[in-house]
Amino acid sequence: MSNELRHEHAKRILEDKLFVASMQGLRDTLVEQWKITDKHDIDAREQIWLELKMVDRLEGHLQSILEEGQITNFKQSFKEI
């Protein structure tokens, strides 16, 4: 897949209302699960924390692809001047 196509796919995903709502819903669910864990249940709390970090990592990766494409587009337009 070309970088331009990757950029377009990442942009489409990050702007998709269902994706955005799903990611926020997932975060909210995980935070609620964390709130009801016993304060001594370190394993459960750690697992929830890891899941929250994975959600952030997924979005961050897509954002990185998007920004990389924007930088590439900017450089190409600058060369054309």
3-class SS shares of the chain: helix, strand, coil, % to 5? 90, 0, 10
Assess if residue 80 is contained within a domain: no
The tally of domains found in the chain comes to 1
Q: Are 61 and 43 in contact (CB under 8 A)?
A: no
Cα distance from N-terminal residue to C-terminal residue, the chain: 28
pLDDT computed for residue 74 by the predictor:
60
Residue 81 in domain: no
Is residue 7 in a domain?
yes
Using one digit for the tens of pLDDT, what is the confidence trace for 12-46?
999 999 999 999 999 999 999 999 999 999 999 99
Question: Is the confidence at residue 81, as pLDDT, over 70?
Answer: no
